[in-house]
Amino acid sequence: MKSFISPYLKKGLLTFLIFVILCFALFPILYTFVVSIKSRVDLLTFPPKLLFKPTIEFWVEVIKNSDFLFYYKNSLIISSISVVVVLVVSCLAGYSLSRFNIKRKEDIAFWILSQSMTPAVAIILPIYTLFSRWGFVDTYHGIILVYSAFNIPFAVWFLRSFFNEIPLELCEAAKVDGCSPLRAFWSIDLPLVKPGLIACAIYTFVMCLNEFFFAFILTGTRVKPATVAVVSYLPTDVRGTMYGQSAVAGILIMTIPMIFFLFLQKYFVSGLIRGAIK
Amino acid sequence: MIKKEKLLPYYFLAPALGILLVLVIYPLIFSLRLSFSNFSFGMADSAIAFVGFKNFIRMFRDSYFLNGLRLTILYMFGTSLIAFVIGLGVSLLLQKSFFGKKVIMNILILPLATTPVVVGIVWRLLLMPDYSFVNYLLSLLGIRGPQWLITPGWALFSVMIAYVWEWSPFFIIMLSAGLASLPQEPYEAAKIDGATGWQTLRFITLPLLKPLVFLVLIIRMMDAFRVFDLVYSMTKGGPGRSTQILSYVVYYTGIGYLELGYASAMSYVMLVILVLLSIFLLKFVRST
Amino acid sequence: MKKLQIGFIVMIMLCFVMIFSGWVLAQEKSKYAGQTIHVAMAWEPREEALKNLTKEFEEKTGIKVVVDLLGNVDMKPKMLSVLQAKSSEYDVVQFDYALMPFCVDSGWLLDLTDWVNRDSKEVQPDDFHPALYNTHIKYKDRWYGFPLHVNSGCLFYRTDIMKEMGFEPPKNWDEAMKDIKAINEKYAPNPYGISFMGAPDPLLAIEFQSLLTSQGVDYYDKKTFEPQVNTPGGEKALNILLEMKKYAPEGVTGYSLDQSYDAFAQGKAAMSFGFTHGVWFFADPAKSKVVGKFDVMALPGGHSILGGWFVAISQFSSNKEAAWEWVKWATSEEMERKLLGNMECPRLSILKDPEVQKKWPNNKVFFETLEQSPTIMPQIKSIVELWMKCAVTLNEVLNGSIEPKPALERMDQEFREILSRDGYLKQ
């Protein structure tokens, strides 16, 4: 049975497979880069021009001659503050649903999770109406509130499973030592869920950075984030789709999550896995 | 003092519930009311009338809605299964340690960092009618590629490829971490019994991974059920209506056709399906 | 000597007074100085040019203007949310003219009739082309909008190829199809006969409507609202569309406006069904390989379709008068002349100008179209639904997933449903 495939062939096959998979994962990203330096006339030819004169016009246009960096800054501000809000609020809620005796807490936890399934189209009008009444449209706090609301359910559920994992004895011991519940939460439980917090932070950050629909309706010129700005490079009018510009914008947006993933991967993976298994 | 202690858990819960109440529950109740009304954009408040279950009855005669539901279910199961198979395969491959494994892992998860809107643009460029780069590569191998985005049948598949590309890294990292955390004893026992690789996978690895697999599937399926940006930037629902998935139909009914009452009813049906599905899958996870 | 000194001092003082009063006068800009208005418009070249020029307006009047340019596809959900919530987020809004009756009936737009009469010297209401009155400007005889972005359907053709073939610009669709067929047989795939918008989005439906009107029918009868697609005229129109597909690049059923333009600009099609403002696309060397090798004409069947957007003042604006100042400024004749390089113009005095017609052939075509009773898009509430459903069916016909006859029947039935639900068609 085993002798059918020689070990060398097997190894070769394996290497080839991994190579194919790597190509599949990497190719579209590399292609995005190629698009960003290929002039429009060169891009829209078939068979594709493999040798072409690279151009930096799109990079110059997006970075220097447009407000894209301003929108990008908005994106970063909104996403990072949302992460903080989400972490604080869901940490408390997750802890509460894990540690304390609350009636029907399993049901409450599931109910919170199910809130994340709400289709955005269904609730955008009521939210907009509320926001315009309160003057929240096109403000940082408005859009941060919405992003928080839509990331809290998953975060609560996720962090709760981390708190569940901490052995109860630790807490009991603390109680015996005369530790108040608040203090126990702060100095014993919180440090133990650090990997979960980091994983949750990265996940929330990427979700906020990539969000489009709410941002589109609820922001205007002042706090418009980068995803909404990218879409304006895709008009269906006489200027034609601006492939080059949108590729540049896309690369800029994905840089920061990529850096996160590359350097914090360890935390992210171990956090997700622990959060998911329990 | 005792009272305060008793209330503490609720103090902890309050901020989360408060935010959800204002920004999710209230709007949901609002749109529940809408879904039983004839409300459409531009209507004066006085003209809004209660129409009972009319919207829900209409839905099940609406060929666009039914078509959307069918496509969405196909899409949801299709993408999750393909991504799962890829994820499992790759994580099995990566289980052995070899030179450069870390770098490969790092590259493999890069697609997770991309923005859906941009993913759509890039894949449209790769598969675009007349200029498709993928077809060019295929033609080098002597294969005449299909017109991906404009042939009924291939179009939905193309959107699925883009989605799988973006999200199979999620399966890869979850499953390979899961595999790493499995106990070693069953495998040693299997080796002694002379089990083949396939048998080990079928009878040991998969059962042990089951809870994790279902959890990952729930997370991804819920998301795939609501996909919108990808379809919008890749096919705009075409050709014909062969990629008009449910969220697209709801969006167009609400924002395009202005019938917000009817669209709310549709999205409620969507929500109910999602919740039922996740209850079912969660039960499955807990039972194992 | 002393007298002279006094006179000198008085003169200097007079000078000061004059300078000072001049300064005061310059300061007294507009009654509404200091107010801020928000303008929402589609992000298109003309609107962008206008945004850049708005500084002049700010300096002149002291009104601060924030122009928010929104992607023209996704602008609608935003506008609908804003107006339905009766929000004052925007003072000036822009809409597709097909939606004017809907917006007015919803009570969202300010009735400008009295202000137009009051300021008729500045507005010059008679200078707008009469054909635009019932579409971009008035509804139920009241004045609501100003045409700020107008265009019409047209046909682009390659002058070099037409010359080689010895063809004249075609007079009707039969002639045009014959030319397209001949070109396609001789040259395809470099170039194919024609490119058009075949993707299932509203543009396909709009294209189809101009084919319908060239055959003497329409989506529906404008008076009785009785659908007219399932008629011999409708069948003929659909056949023209199907025949065009035969002579078009392979990917045409996925073309929206920009892909169709790309095909023509890359020299892959000898003709292109488009809109007049396409001339800038084809004349731009960064996008086009056919610079100087193309010309534009009104659609061969006559009755080219009229397109465009209007600006209006929101009923919920808190600075209506200041917004009115901006609207007057943005649509004035002076401004229209400045913006000629970006789009067609709605004003007669400019359209008739022979120099303009010579320099901007698209304006000539647009003027001709306006003179020959253009096709008007349906001005009903459910216009988008009608377009989308029509386009989906047409795209399916082009794909071959449905035969023409059942497709026309389906369209007829869907139109009937929509028109009777909105209360236009009485059963």
* Closest alpha carbon within chain B to C407: B240
CATH of domain C152-306+375-421: 3.40.190.10
> For residue range A31-52, what is the model confidence (pLDDT) as tens digits?
999 989 988 888 888 788 888 8
Banded model confidence at residue B28, pLDDT cuts 50, 70, 90:
confident
User: How many residues would you count in chain A?
Assistant: 278
Q: Does C378 touch chain B (CB under 8 A)?
A: no
Nearest Cα of chain C lies from the Cα of B205 at a distance, in angstroms, of: 45
> For residue range B78-103, what is the model confidence (pLDDT) as tens digits?
999 999 999 998 888 887 777 777 78
pLDDT at A276: 59
Contacts of C177 (CB under 8 A, 6+ apart): C240, C243, C244
Residues A61 and C62: their CA atoms lie apart, in Å, by 31
Burial per residue of A137-154, b for 16 or more beta-carbon CB atoms within 10 angstroms, e otherwise: bbbbebbbbbbbbbbbbb
Residues C300 and A42: their CA atoms lie apart, in Å, by 33
Q: Which chains touch A (3 or more CB pairs under 8 A)?
A: B, C
Are β-strands C138-139 and C306-313 bridged in parallel, bridged antiparallel, or unpaired? unpaired
What value of ipTM does the predicted structure carry? 0.84
Q: Which of B28, B115, B226 shows the shortest C-beta gap to A253?
A: B115
Q: What is the mean pLDDT of chain A?
A: 82
> How many Å separate Cα C117 from the centre of its chain?
25
Burial per residue of C60-85, b for 16 or more beta-carbon CB atoms within 10 angstroms, e otherwise: ebbbebbbbbbbbbbbbbbbbbbbbb
Helix and strand tally (H, E) in chain C? Answer: 19, 10
Please answer yes or no on whether C388 and B41 come within 8 Å at the CB atom: no
Which of A125-129, A180-184, B202-206, C223-227: highest mean pLDDT? C223-227
Nearest to C421 by CA among A123, B56, B262, B67: B262
Q: Does A43 touch chain C (CB under 8 A)?
A: no
User: Where exactly does CATH 3.40.190.10 map onto chain C?
Assistant: 36-150+308-371, 152-306+375-421
Tell me, what DSSP letter sits at residue C201? S
Please answer yes or no on whether B165 and A32 come within 8 Å at the CB atom: no
Indicate whether A1 pLDDT > 50.
no
> For residue range B145-176, what is the model confidence (pLDDT) as tens digits?
888 888 888 999 999 999 999 988 888 888 88
pLDDT at B281: 79
Within 8 A of B140 by CB-CB distance, chain A residues are: none
Residues C199 and C363: their CA atoms lie apart, in Å, by 28
Which two structure tokens, joined as six digits, stand for A86? 């989400």
Residues A56 and B167: their CA atoms lie apart, in Å, by 31
What are the beta bridge partners of residue C195? C272
Residue with tokens 């489009």: A212
Which helix (H) or strand (E) segment holds residue A155: the answer is: helix A140-165
Residue B164 CA: distances (Å) to CA of A61, B111, C179: 32, 10, 46
Check: CB of residue C94 under 8 Å from CB of residue C41: yes
pLDDT at C44: 83
pLDDT at C393: 95
Residues A274 and A266: their CA atoms lie apart, in Å, by 12
Residues C327 and C315: their CA atoms lie apart, in Å, by 14
Q: Does B137 touch chain A (CB under 8 A)?
A: no
Residue with tokens 């009923």: C315
pLDDT at A7: 74
- Among A136-150, B204-218, C156-170, C341-355, the range scoring the smallest mean pLDDT is B204-218
Nearest Cα of chain C lies from the Cα of B93 at a distance, in angstroms, of: 39
Half-sphere CA count of C226, side-chain side, radius 13 A: 6
pLDDT at B66: 94
Indicate whether B2 pLDDT > 60.
no
Domain of B104 in residue numbering reads as 63-287
Check: CB of residue B241 under 8 Å from CB of residue B66: no
B278 assigned to some structural domain: yes
Contacts of A216 (CB under 8 A, 6+ apart): A228, A231, C74, C77, C78
> For residue range A250-263, what is the model confidence (pLDDT) as tens digits?
889 888 888 888 77
Check: CB of residue B238 under 8 Å from CB of residue C394: no
Backbone angles phi, psi at C96, to 5 degrees: -65, 140
Nearest to C370 by CA among C341, C350, C385: C350
Residues C182 and A79: their CA atoms lie apart, in Å, by 58
Indicate whether A73 pLDDT > 80.
yes
More confident: C390 or B284? C390
Residues C336 and C352: their CA atoms lie apart, in Å, by 13
Residue with tokens 């702060």: A186
B172 assigned to some structural domain: yes
CATH of domain C36-150+308-371: 3.40.190.10
Residues B18 and A149: their CA atoms lie apart, in Å, by 9
Nearest Cα of chain C lies from the Cα of B149 at a distance, in angstroms, of: 7
> How many Å separate Cα B18 from the centre of its chain?
28
Across the range A116-143, mean pLDDT stands at: 80
- Among B123-132, B275-284, C38-47, C192-201, the range scoring the smallest mean pLDDT is B275-284
Check: CB of residue B179 under 8 Å from CB of residue B95: yes
More confident: B145 or A169? B145
**Within 10 Å of residue A180's Cβ, how many Cβ atoms?**
12
Please answer yes or no on whether B123 and A18 come within 8 Å at the CB atom: no
* Closest alpha carbon within chain B to A226: B115
Residue C266 CA: distances (Å) to CA of A41, B131, B247, C263: 7, 12, 35, 5
- Please report, in tens digits, the pLDDT of each residue of chain C (427 residues total): 566 677 667 767 766 666 665 555 555 556 788 889 999 998 888 888 999 999 999 998 889 999 988 875 567 778 888 888 888 889 999 998 998 999 999 999 999 999 999 999 888 999 999 999 989 999 999 999 999 989 999 999 999 999 999 998 998 999 999 999 999 999 878 889 999 999 888 899 999 999 999 999 999 998 899 999 999 999 999 999 999 999 999 889 988 888 899 899 989 999 999 998 888 889 888 888 999 999 999 998 788 999 989 999 999 999 999 999 999 999 999 999 988 877 889 999 999 999 988 888 889 999 999 988 899 999 888 888 999 999 999 999 999 989 999 999 999 999 999 999 888 888 7
Residues C107 and C135: their CA atoms lie apart, in Å, by 18
Alpha helices in C277-382, H assignment, sequence order: 278-282, 320-330, 333-338, 348-351, 354-359, 361-371
Contacts of B151 (CB under 8 A, 6+ apart): B239, C399
Q: What is the mean pLDDT of chain B?
A: 85
In three-state secondary structure terms, C324 is helix
What are the beta bridge partners of residue C68? C40
Residues C339 and B192: their CA atoms lie apart, in Å, by 83
pLDDT at A173: 75
**Single-letter code of the amino acid located at B27:** P
What are the beta bridge partners of residue C93? C312
Which two structure tokens, joined as six digits, stand for A229? 């700005």
Indicate whether B1 pLDDT > 50.
no
pLDDT at C21: 57
Within 8 A of C77 by CB-CB distance, chain B residues are: 255
Interface of A with B in 184-243 (CB under 8 A): 206, 209-210, 212-213, 227, 230-231, 234, 241, 243
Residue B184: give its domain's CATH number. Answer: 1.10.3720.10
CB pairs under 8 A between B and C: 90
Banded model confidence at residue A107, pLDDT cuts 50, 70, 90:
confident
Check: CB of residue A209 under 8 Å from CB of residue B115: yes
Q: Report chain B residues touching chain C, CB-CB < 8 A.
A: 40-44, 128-130, 147, 149-152, 235-241, 244, 252, 255-258
Domains of chain A: 2-55 (no CATH), 58-277 (1.10.3720.10)
In three-state secondary structure terms, C128 is strand
Banded model confidence at residue A275, pLDDT cuts 50, 70, 90:
low
Nearest Cα of chain A lies from the Cα of B143 at a distance, in angstroms, of: 14
DSSP letters of A16-43?
Answer: HHHHHHHHHHHHHHHHHHHHHTS-HHHH
Within 8 A of B129 by CB-CB distance, chain C residues are: 249-255, 259
